[in-house]
């Protein structure tokens, strides 16, 4: 799936719609408080055969369309990334667990994270290891960077030029939720976007990065100890306005996705983070462990109790 190309098209779509709204607004201020349908062009194709109506914006005032799009192309990373991590801090934490694995691939003293995409980590004994969500975010990001396209879920994220900025695990009476923030770089597309916009290029400042915020819920932990996650929502720059759905609809056709692009992208994110965790171990707890080594000396129990606030415990695989 050409998601990189689709993301470029997404930004062009945003800018074209904003420019259209601005030009119409310049003609008469009163027009800004009218909707595309009131003005008689709600059903007219504007890009990729899509109209304001088909994008769900036909009855939205132009001034609100402009405001919503401004929030999209002017992202505030500090407001979006709420549980960020430092690679310098999380790398030694991750590797203290991983390097004790008997089959972990190491090159020049560094863990080869791409090997985790297809292989589980095995140990000489059964241990109960705990990973904070910040450490999981670091491991996830390293696996995305090392993706060779062999795993469809990791490939999808890498094709969006995305890096993992956050993994947050929260629990409430309604269950566990995962919040995953991906930063998609537009650096490779800025010149192309400007060229395609032509005379409009100077009217809008193209952002360096857009953020996709994935919200997932935990449905279960299966008998193999793997997380079963489902899509709750996917937001662009963590905006909930209807404009986000309009953009993802365009992204769907640009990127060649079938069906609901929000759900499809989110399902790939769910599969990817589930794979990260399942290759580290089986989600669960134990009745007793050795305090220093974390070796399981009691009974290991696979299940949702291994998912805790801001962390996950896994029962390691024994070779």
Highest mean pLDDT among 61-75, 92-106, 117-131: 117-131
* Residue pLDDT, tens place only, 233-254: 998 889 866 666 666 665 555 5
CA distances from 164 to 103, 149, 191, 271, 308 (A): 25, 17, 24, 15, 21
E-only strand ranges, the chain:
45-47, 50-51, 106-107, 110-111, 122-123, 128-132, 162-172, 175-185, 209-221, 227-236, 282-286, 300-302, 307-308, 311-315, 317-318
pLDDT over 70 at 6, yes or no = no
The per-residue pLDDT for 204 is 59
Give the residue with greater pLDDT, 230 vs 207: 230
134-154 pLDDT per residue, tens: 999 999 999 999 998 889 999
The residue written with tokens 């993992």 in the block is: 164
- Phi, psi (rounded to 5 degrees) for 317: -80, 135
Residue 4 has pLDDT above 60, yes or no: no
Q: Give the pLDDT confidence score for residue 75 in this predicted structure.
A: 84
pLDDT for position 101: 87
- CA–CA gap between residue 59 and residue 195 (Å, rounded): 31
Of 281, 15, 251, 47, whose CA–CA distance to 156 is shortest? 251
Structural contact between residues 169 and 193, judged by C-beta atoms closer than 8 angstroms? no
CB 58 within 8 A of CB 37: yes
């Amino acid at each position: 799936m050409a998601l990189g190309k689709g993301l470029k098209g997404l930004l062009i779509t945003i800018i074209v719609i904003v420019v259209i709204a601005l030009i119409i607004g310049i003609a008469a201020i009163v027009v800004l408080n009218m909707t595309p349908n009131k003005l008689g062009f709600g059903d007219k194709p504007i890009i990729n055969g899509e109209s304001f109506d088909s994008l769900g914006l036909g009855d939205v005032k132009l001034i609100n369309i402009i405001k919503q799009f401004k929030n999209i192309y002017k992202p505030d990373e500090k407001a979006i990334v709420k549980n960020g991590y430092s690679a310098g801090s999380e790398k030694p934490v991750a590797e203290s667990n991983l390097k004790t694995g008997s089959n972990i691939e190491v090159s020049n003293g560094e863990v080869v994270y791409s090997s985790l995409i297809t292989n589980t980590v095995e140990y000489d004994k059964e241990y109960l290891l705990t990973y904070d969500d910040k450490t999981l975010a670091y491991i996830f990001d390293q696996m995305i960077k090392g993706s060779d396209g062999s795993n469809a879920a990791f490939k999808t994220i890498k094709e969006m030029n995305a890096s993992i900025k956050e993994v947050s695990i929260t629990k409430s009476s309604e269950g566990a939720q995962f919040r995953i923030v991906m930063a998609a770089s537009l650096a490779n597309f800025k010149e192309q976007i400007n060229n395609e916009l032509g005379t409009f290029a100077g009217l809008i400042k193209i952002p360096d990065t857009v953020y996709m915020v994935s919200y997932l819920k935990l449905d279960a932990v299966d008998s193999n100890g793997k997380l079963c996650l489902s899509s709750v929502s996917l937001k662009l720059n963590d905006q909930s306005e209807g404009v986000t759905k309009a953009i993802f609809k365009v992204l769907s056709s640009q990127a060649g996705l079938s069906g609901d692009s929000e759900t499809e992208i989110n399902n790939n994110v769910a599969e990817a983070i589930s794979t990260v965790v399942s290759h580290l171990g089986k989600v669960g707890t134990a009745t007793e462990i050795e305090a220093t080594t974390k070796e399981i000396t009691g009974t290991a129990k696979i299940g949702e109790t291994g998912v805790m606030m801001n962390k996950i415990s896994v029962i390691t695989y024994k070779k």
